[in-house]
Homo-oligomer: A and B are copies of this chain.
């Protein structure tokens, strides 16, 4: 499945996660992703833009409507992970 192929690549989910907070410039996004290498960041952005999940305007990169929805899915995952992380 195309979505899983992309999400399963290193940094993809992290990039989406960081973009939930609002638009970010390329350099800001890099810093928030532990200074991911610009090469890979650019590859991820490219994929996500082709998938209508991320877009770009003069104020930086951000989530499209689809991206916001996907972000909500990640939040659901995060809530589950919170419970899971407290397992005994």
A residues contacting B by CB (< 8 A) are 1-4, 7-14, 17, 52, 66, 69-70, 73, 76-78, 80-81, 84-85, 87
Contacts and interface: CB of A to CB of B under 8 A. Distances in A.
Nearest 7 A-B pairs (CB), nearest first? Answer: A3-B81, A4-B13, A8-B13, A73-B77, A73-B80, A8-B10, A66-B84
A12 B25 CA distance: 30
Contacts of A70: 80, 84
A47 to B, nearest CB: 14
B73 A76 contact: yes
Pick the most buried of A4, A52, A87: most chain B CB atoms within 10 A of its CB. A4
B12 A78 contact: no
